[in-house]
Amino acid sequence: MSENARACANSICCGIVLANLAISSCSPFEKFAPLPLTVMWLYVGAFACGLVLGITLDDAKQMLYGVGSMALVAVLIFGGALIYIAWSNKATSYDTISLLAFQQSFVRFVFISILGGVGAFCATVLKLVFSGEL
Amino acid sequence: MARKVNAARNAITVALAILTLFSAGSIAATTTRCAEWVGAVRHLQIGVRDVQMRTENGPQVLVAFSFKNGSPASVELEKFDVYLYVGSRFVGTNYVPFTRRRIDSYEATTIEIVVPISSPHQAFVEQVRQEEEDFSWFVHGRAKVLFPSFFRQETWLNVREHWAGE
């Protein structure tokens, strides 16, 4: 598998996994989730996904784009799910839901990006340590 | 060495792909169930189940309400206003401020509210009760429910008009 293809596939996969964690740990959804989680799992998941991207990718630029894409995919799915619920029910609180979807999505995007970046950085350091370059 | 590293990376990618499949299924299931719940609570209704006269602690009427048309999920009940009539004559009311009460199962939940008959109407109620065979109560009112989380919004459910024999 080429580096670019792996970077792309892993970023999207991590984004979907994080979107699931974000939805399962979000208060409106959690009671409907097959596996309800606390929000701490989202942070742990973001860090773990950053580690995975850091381990599987070598190029720093790819890692940077990968973490950004992962966070973007996650919040697009998360925000999309909230909007879908409002839209499918023509909810009277449509505007409230949309606003909250935006707020919650933005907060999650920031957290996922930061923790994903930290995870990728840690993975890079670990690789350098194990290869004897550091 | 490079080949082993590449194989390990491919293995992680495959494991991630499998985890992604589970996650995608979970997202679809959660979103669908949540959307169904929002649809169900918007069609929630509340109705009178039973009306009984009590005289132990002065004349009062016990009115039992139950939810209808709801799917199993949760809402919170905050207030209940009840208006009681004998025929077309108003005889009592009760504004019940609940300590927020969580309703987890609509079908199984019955809310009982005591409506004291106000003293100017006590003699009238007693007289009608003794004189008329088809003595009946007319109850209406409303319940304030809260939908949790960011769907939290106040909604007053109207009690459907109800005539009930003693």
User: How confident is the model over A71-123, as pLDDT tens digits?
Assistant: 899 989 988 887 787 777 665 555 566 666 677 778 888 888 999 999 989 98
Residues of A in contact with B17 (CB under 8 A): 9, 13
The partner residue sitting opposite A17, judged by closest CB among B19, B148, B149, is B19
Q: Does B86 share its domain with B25?
A: no
Q: Does B133 share its domain with B82?
A: yes
If pLDDT is split at 50, 70 and 90, which confidence band does B166 have? very low
Q: Does B96 share its domain with B136?
A: yes
Residues A29 and B154: their CA atoms lie apart, in Å, by: 19
Q: Which pLDDT score, from 0 to 100, does residue A1 have?
A: 62
The partner residue sitting opposite A9, judged by closest CB among B13, B30, B38, is B13
Q: Does B16 share its domain with B52?
A: no
Q: Determine the residue of chain B that is closest to A34 in CA distance.
A: B26
Q: Does B38 share its domain with B48?
A: no
Predicted TM-score (pTM) above 0.95: no
Q: Which pLDDT score, from 0 to 100, does residue B141 have?
A: 84
Residues of the domain holding B7: 1-42
Q: Does B18 share its domain with B81?
A: no
Q: Does B56 share its domain with B100?
A: yes
* pLDDT of residue A37 exceeding 50: yes
Q: Does B30 share its domain with B70?
A: no
Q: Determine the residue of chain B that is closest to A88 in CA distance.
A: B35
Q: The domain spanning residue B145 has which CATH number?
A: 2.60.40.10
Give the ipTM of the model, two decimals please: 0.86
Q: Which pLDDT score, from 0 to 100, does residue A57 have?
A: 85
Phi, psi of A56 (to 5 degrees): -85, -15
Q: Does B31 share its domain with B48?
A: no
Number of domains making up chain B: 2
